[in-house]
Structure 1
Amino acid sequence: MQVTPDEFDGVLRRRLAAWAVDALLLLVLSWLVWGGAALLAMMTIGLVGGLLLLPWALLLPILYGTLSIASPLSATPGQALMGLAVRSELDGSAPTLGQAFTSTTLYALSIAAGGVPLLAPLFSHRRRTLHDLFSGTLVLRSATLARRASTKPSSTRGLAAEDG
């Protein structure tokens, strides 16, 4: 199955909007986790106070992204809301847990590097970030995937095509 460049139209804008939704959800989730950990620490008179020392700012986004992308939805809640899905580049299937973890961890490292690696989609006709390239994933519009599923031939080829 070949993916044409026009199938990536609008993906970058949708990814930015998805990021905003996911950031808001992570903010709320962070408040709940920190509040729960603080409440638990107070209820146990500090015995589980070590939970407050965990690097939640790094762990929570990686868990959120990995478990969301590796789920049957194949997208974070923000991506799903914006009509996007993550797929394996090789065969177009849902990404594996390893691909989801690699993508999410490299994304976190891109943020830690000041976001400079996140400029890669501006130079790629497939609008792929570096964490997409290194994890072997593509972010496509869900409508494209639905259209492909309705016209799927008997043999399946990968989504691989050159980036440039």
Structure 2
Amino acid sequence: MQTPSPFARIIEHRPEWDDPWGQPRYYMGITIRRIYAYLLDMVIVGLLIGMVYVAAIIIGALSLGLLWPAMMLLILATPILYHTLTISGPRSATLGMRIAGIRVMSVAANAFDDNGRPSLLQAAIQTVIFYATVPPTFSLILLVALFNPKRRTIHDMIAGTVVVNDPAQWGGPGSG
């Protein structure tokens, strides 16, 4: 019995391997899924902020108010920490994204070797730019996604990421 060669993947060339992120099935319905995921994430972030707020009250009272400033900073940082840590995590998605069946991938990553997972820096850049641009523009900046085929937003482009339908659902590149 012959074992498959480790070079079989190289020999067996498929056109979609030239641009794994160029496949239409990655982006079908992605805009509505991103909206759904964001709404779910806002509920989750709201619950997290509520828990941090309760902890801040207790810790602030126990410290006689000395830790109030630190606790308020932690409350403000909660959404940024949530998005950054979950996007750079092993599933490359927030809880809302996982429920919606989407994930964030790095456009610079090799989809076949490292599952396209974005780095912590990419996730932080994406999150900070999102929170720095979306509220002041009343979300109008998100309309950029409607004018490019991969539905990338400004914060996706600057961070070097792309949000796609989770390839694990259909065994595509990056399904790990």
Fold conserved (TM > 0.5)? yes
What residue ranges of structure 2 are gaps of 5+ in the alignment? 1-16
Q: For residues 148 and 40 of structure 1, do their structure 2 counterparts lie closer, same or farther at Cα, with a shift above 3 Å needed?
A: same
Aligned equivalent of 1:96, options 119, 124, 129: 119
Q: Which of 134, 142, 154 is equivalent to 1:130?
A: 154
Q: Identical aligned pairs, as a percentage? A: 29
CA contact (8 A) 2:167 2:174 kept: no
What does the per-residue CA deviation read over 1:6-40, in whole Å, with 9 as the maximum and x for residues that have no partner?
Answer: 53111111000000110000001111111111111
5+ long unaligned stretches in structure 1? 153-164
Supply the distance in 1 between the matched residues of 2:104 and 2:142 (Cα, whole angstroms). 17
- Total equivalences in the alignment: 151
* Distance (Å, rounded) in 1 between the aligned partners of 2:46 and 2:175: 40
Look up the SS of the partner of 2:134 in the other structure.
Answer: helix
Are the equivalent residues in 2 in contact too, given 1:110–1:116 (CA < 8 A)?
A: no
Q: Secondary structure at the match of 2:172?
A: helix
Specify which structure has the bigger relative contact order, considering alpha-carbon pairs within 8 angstroms and separated by 6 or more residues.
1
Q: Deviations over 1:18-74 (max 9, x none)?
A: 0011000000111111111111111232232223442733x1111111100010010
Alpha-carbon distance between aligned partners in 1 of 2:143 and 2:66, rounded to the nearest angstrom: 44
Q: Among residues 131, 137, 143, which one is paired with 1:119 in the alignment? A: 143
- Deviation by residue 1:74-101 (Cα, 9 ceiling, x = unmatched): 0111001111111110233200011101
Q: After the TM superposition, which segments of 4 or more aligned residues of structure 1 sit over 6 Å from their partners? A: none
Whole-angstrom CA distance in 2 between matches of 1:150 and 1:55: 34
Distance 1:26 1:94, change over 3 A: same
Q: Confirm or deny: 8 A CA contact 1:99 1:136 kept in the other structure.
A: yes
RMSD of aligned Cα (Å): 2.2
Structure 2-normalised TM-score? 0.77
Give TM-score scaled by structure 1 length. Answer: 0.83
Cα distance change of structure 1 residues 71 and 39 upon mapping to structure 2, 3 Å threshold: same
